[in-house]
A and B are shown apart, each in its own frame.
Chain A
Amino acid sequence: MEPASLAFRERAAAALEDPVLRTALRRLESGWQQGRSRAAAALPEFEALRDAAVAIKDHTLAHLDLYLEIFERRFTEAGGVVHWARDAAEARAIALEICRKAGAKTVTKSKSMVAEEIGLNAFLEANGLTVVETDLGEYIVQLAGEVPSHLVGPAVHMTRERIAELFARHHGGAPKNDSAELVAEARRILRERYLEAEVGITGANFLVAETGSIVTVTNEGNAELTQGLPRVHLVLTGIEKVVPTVEDAFTLLRLLARSATGQEFAGYTTFLTGPARPDERDGPREMHLILLDNGRSAMVGGPFREMLRCIRCGACMNHCPVYLAAGGHAYGWVYVGPMGSVLTPQFAGLERTWTLPHASTFCGRCQEVCPVRIPLPKLMRLWREEAHRRHLPPPTARYGLAAWAFLARRPALYRLVTRLAIAGLGLLGRRRGRFSRLPLAAGWTASRDLPAPAGVTFHALWKARQRNRA
């Protein structure tokens, strides 16, 4: 997927005028935001759990090669096949090859952000396969021809009315007004597809090194049906998802749903170790795992390492005032909100996405709620530094900054220039106390008045005060 992130401002401005989106995003505040806060308050050891989670992730990342190799060994012993993919193209090619070998015409898929990251659906469809999303939100987004707007709730930007319309158009019949009816309709249709599919593709929330298990977390049970019914199960995930032990996975699981939706635990959590054994009647006959690098191993040794702690809970976006104003689609690529503003430049290139790390007030709420304490503002600032080095921001911003920097490094000149400018502005603004318009200040004055300065700088006043005292 080509990033459209350079148009963040325009896309956000359009989103701000979309009343459906406004209604939808307001629900996030009252729903998941408050849910997280209640869940955190109800668990006395919540903060200690966060510390433990950070320790688990940091330890694993420091020994990532070791744990990945242990995982690979256990996974293989359990009967699975591991495929290492250096980048998106390699991962797509491996996935297609597995589907072809399985003679697949239809593949079912449970939610996988890594699949979005590598553009898997479009690629498989271009190669003649039918891909059916089974997570309700993903299914809705797929029907609408859109992309997810949120990590956890892909269709969080939609309202029930829009979904009813969409279902009526694709499934036939009159639009239904009741959520339960809509869910029942999707379930009925998806059940048939589960049985048709030759390959089921899932992501993985965690990989457990000591057992070779993959862990999936959903609220709909769709991952279980996706991995259990077709003959071949293909797991697609990033290399940073490995944790050493089952106990570690549980520590992170206790944080995941609480941080994401405010649930104590998600509806369905499955540990799956290998395909069906020869004497077992249920389960896939083959199990494959594509482990995607796509720049992650380079992050391990670099300044963005802390980002690899991310467990994809979405708390950062649920609490981000910029995300809640702009909506996920404004970000123009797969990962959105604060975590997306750090990851997208990594995966899609800073040249085409440098606007995202700038789209933050650095209010720090994301870091405050991140279960694994990722310093998101700091990481966004690092991208800004890189963007500055590469001269990516527009000339107006760069020259404005350079002019200010020139003055700020010459205190005597700064005092002179500011004293004169402030005297002038003070005089002009004396009557009204504010300006509705000023040259070069349109970014401010388009929607705000600029409070007029008093006309005398503090430093001038202070000197006068000290003289009077002497």
Chain B
Amino acid sequence: MPAQPRVALFVTCLVDLFRPTVGLAAAELLEAAGCRVEVPEPQICCGQPAFNSGDRATTEAIARQFIPVLEPYDFVVAPSGSCAGMLRTHLPELFDSDPPWKARATALAGRCHELVSFLVDVLGFEGSPGRLEARATYHDSCSGLRELGIKDRPRRLLAKVEGLELVEMGRPEVCCGFGGTFCVKYPEISTRMVDDKLADAEATGAELLLAGDLGCLLNMAGRAARRGSRLAVRHVAEVLAGRLEEPPIAAPREKG
């Protein structure tokens, strides 16, 4: 590995639109771990909304757009297990009938990583600049957990955050009910699932609910706000980077 790896930060569409602070936190963590971070353009989205809706043509078109942009980098890192899972495990599948592109996609996929597992497994980064007096619980987002095997990495880094106490839910591995467009196609089921998740999180006595995927976080925070839950919801990168000036997700930004 080069002394200072060149990393393309794949911001993800949701972070770009809803929670830019997660992208900044990710960049800062990567820089603290010794990377040169760039955000090459155009990068819009990993293509999952189309991929999981069965629209292969659009998924492929989007992939052909970002593959050449990301190829020059040593690594591609996304603050999301779901988007990293798309890049790492599904990207090559898109080009089964196009061998030259399949080769490119496969080569790129092997260099794509989810943020926290990249910090720990590839960079050996074990410190965390974060500091937060709080009791927190961590939700294992499905794609990160089951497609990429991310389980103890975020917990290991969170354990280094000064002042943070981590408590486990009874069923941290059960889906929160987001599922991309699932949550708007089947809102009743999705709501039941997120209610179960929030009840599990509340039962731990934690005041802070963390996860590594903004989709899940928007779902959990949105439901928590609607129910008047006292849970604050944040992306794990914000806590690890100590970037806490932005209020928790779905919390008021201005006093008033």
**Chain A residues with a Cβ under 8 A of chain B:** 8-9, 12-13, 16, 321-322, 325-326, 358-365, 367-368, 381, 383-389, 393, 397, 401, 404-405, 408-409, 411-412, 414, 418, 422, 429-434, 436, 441, 443-444, 446-454, 456-462, 465
Contact = CB atoms under 8 A, between A and B. Distances in A.
A464 to B, nearest CB: 11
Contact of A457 (B16, B179, B191, B193): B16
A459 B142 contact: no
30 contacts: A12-B188, A12-B189, A321-B174, A322-B186, A322-B189, A325-B189, A362-B52, A362-B180, A365-B146, A381-B51, A381-B52, A381-B54, A404-B50, A408-B44, A408-B47, A443-B187, A448-B183, A448-B194, A448-B219, A451-B221, A451-B222, A451-B225, A452-B250, A454-B18, A454-B20, A454-B253, A456-B20, A458-B11, A458-B17, A458-B39
Contact of B175 (A13, A363, A457, A461): A363
Contacts, number: 212
A385 B23 CA distance: 32
Contact of A461 (B20, B181, B218): B20
Nearest to B22: A458
A457 B21 CA distance: 9
| Interface size, B (range) | 35 or more
Contacts of B45: 408
Given A363-B142, A388-B53, A448-B225, 17 more contacts: A13-B189, A361-B142, A363-B175, A364-B143, A365-B173, A405-B61, A431-B253, A433-B225, A444-B184, A448-B226, A451-B221, A452-B250, A454-B21, A458-B11, A459-B41, A462-B24, A462-B27
A40 to B, nearest CB: 15
Interface string B14-43: 011111110110010000000000010110
Nearest to B174: A321
A458 B225 contact: no
Contact of B186 (A12, A389, A393, A401): A12
A409 B53 contact: no
Contacts of A386: 54
Contacts of A325: 189, 192-193
Interface centre among A12, A408, A456 (most CB of B within 10 A): A408
B151 to A, nearest CB: 12
B126 interface: no
A2 B198 CA distance: 38
Given A431-B256, A447-B191, A404 B222 contact: no
A397 B226 contact: no
Interface centre among B54, B179, B190 (most CB of A within 10 A): B54
Interface in B93-152: 142-143, 145-147
Contacts of A411: 41-42, 44, 65
B162 interface: no
Interface centre among A326, A358, A429 (most CB of B within 10 A): A358
A360 B54 CA distance: 13
A8 B188 CA distance: 11
B24 A458 contact: yes
B222 A450 contact: yes
A408 B62 contact: yes
A325 B246 CA distance: 35
Contacts of A430: 253-254
B117 to A, nearest CB: 17
Contacts of A326: 189
A404 B54 contact: no
Interface string B216-256: 00110111011000000000000000000011011111101
A361 B226 contact: no
Nearest to A13: B188
A264 B14 CA distance: 46
Nearest to A451: B250
Given A397-B185, A443-B183, A361 B16 contact: no
Contacts of B41: 411, 459
Nearest to A384: B54
A449 B222 CA distance: 4
B50 A401 contact: yes
A379 B44 CA distance: 27
B142 A16 contact: no
A450 B23 CA distance: 20
A405 B62 CA distance: 9
A443 B253 contact: no
The 7 closest A-B pairs by CB, nearest first: A361-B179, A443-B184, A384-B54, A411-B42, A388-B54, A448-B222, A458-B20
B56 interface: yes
